[in-house]
Structure 1
């Protein structure tokens, strides 16, 4: 894939973290010294007492987007900017993340690579969800159907390409991307799936029956879910947005044709990240 000439960097900061101002100013200095133009979104700018552009203006003017925070900040940036199809680079300000490629102490050394084109772009699948005639919503990790309170279970009826195939009784159901396989999916007993696989993952949460097992499907299938009994459940999108699903309504979920493009250093290695995050191979 031919890489574009990157000149303008649109920056988003982790919300409610005004202490990021010092690092942003440091990043801005490093980037402008290399000839980049750095613009900040208005919400992030207001948080640190600076001026910025509104979301649409920033996305239109930027060649790439920079997420400064953690995986949650990157996921939010990806979901909100999906219509603009901008590559995203994640800078991690905390512990090692699965999606944020660079630790803050690695950024200064990486920026010349960004200027010269010495980086890779990885395509991560996203899910598109829709309820009735409401606008679509998008998830990079998962769409979760869960009960509204701690008491009782929910009954979900699942369809694949319009054909009824299963009923789930329990705490809920996770519909995840391969990228999201290491999020709530793995906690619920789902498989770790290579993030560039073309799959949709269905993982029951605390199923009432032991015969209900995680299911991995090709991304060509359309998944539909309805409540099997009167009531409603909660739909959680990437842990960042909630929507109700009422009895008689149907949520339809499918792989979006174009997902999100994440920028990685040429040395980025998914299996190394797995080993470090999960301490695989450690016997001490």
Structure 2
């Protein structure tokens, strides 16, 4: 079996679990492929991995049966960008904080490896957004799992986002910005701005304004078969766009369209992984300090 691994730094307390993971994989004769950045960190942290193969993410194509993402949800978003249209199944191991997407805890890594080798898992397919502009603004990675955002730059005043739905004018959002979220991203930035929570396999996008000037403007749910297009007006002449964890500043002459991506992200789901359980545990639903 071939397994690619990408990750970020981890705590001293987590290190024994990471070392045990590599020991287990090596005992099983696994061919391990590390992202170049994670290999550098493992060497610095003194973790023995015995990997002979390194891939330079996200430019270099790697060949693996599964990809392990070790970190938080941000690391998993990076891993989705590495995988792209290959749709290699991804396992999210949570060595970070919240972990909506990276749901495998460090003390369950050995159980996860056993499940992979014995095919005791299901594939959870998640829809992506695809962003297109009149020039390449995301360095050849125009897709994202969570959301696409248009926001004012740090020092500018509010912006106006003229928004069109399938070519028909929808609204001019006078606000700090606008979020277009997938169902997966509904528990992220959109949620903090008052957007609804969607179950992961709903066929929808969420349009969520960020601090709108008009208080009667509210989040809106649309079908993910729709195409959105945007024209932005800003006194500074530019604005900020972000696709998952990748962001850059563009000028107001940039025209942007958004649609559902043709391929999907494929996440490994173990038998005890349940979205409703994740909601309750991560958002403290049903928890009352009075009880």
* Same fold, judged at TM 0.5 (above): yes
Is the aligned partner of 1:12 residue 2:6? yes
Q: Mapping of 1:140-179 within 5 angstroms?
A: 140-179=145-184
- Give the equivalent residue in structure 2 for 1:186: 191
Q: How does 1:124-273 map to 2 (within 5 A)?
A: 124-134=126-136, 135=140, 137-228=142-233, 231-238=237-244, 240-273=245-278
Q: Give the corresponding residue for 2:54.
A: 53
Q: 1:79 aligns with which of 78, 81, 87?
A: 81
In structure 2, distance between residues paired with 1:96 and 1:18: 15
Q: Distance in 1 between matches of 2:97 and 2:133?
A: 36
In structure 2, C-alpha distance between the alignment counterparts of 1:169 and 1:245, rounded to whole Å:
18
Aligned residues: 276
CA distance in 2, matches of 1:139, 1:202: 15
Unpaired stretches in structure 1, ≥5 consecutive residues: 1-6
RMSD: 2.1
1:216 counterpart SS class: strand
CA distance in 2, matches of 1:101, 1:58: 27
The answer to whether the 8 Å contact 2:234/2:252 transfers is yes
Match of 1:3 in 2: none
d(CA) in 2 for partners of 1:145 and 1:205? 9
Report the Cα offset of residue 17 of structure 1.
Answer: 4.9
Runs of 5+ consecutive residues of structure 2 not aligned to the other structure: 44-48
TM-score, normalised relative to structure 2: 0.88
How much does 1:209 deviate? 0.5
Give distance in 2, aligned partners of 1:118 and 1:58.
30
TM-score scaled to structure 1, two decimals? 0.90
Q: After the TM superposition, which parts of structure 1 deviate over 6 Å for at least 4 consecutive aligned residues? A: none
- Alignment match of 1:36 (pick from 30, 34, 57): 30
1:48-127 equivalences under 5 Å are 48-49=42-43, 52-55=53-56, 59-127=61-129
User: Residue 48 of structure 1 aligns to a residue in which SS?
Assistant: helix
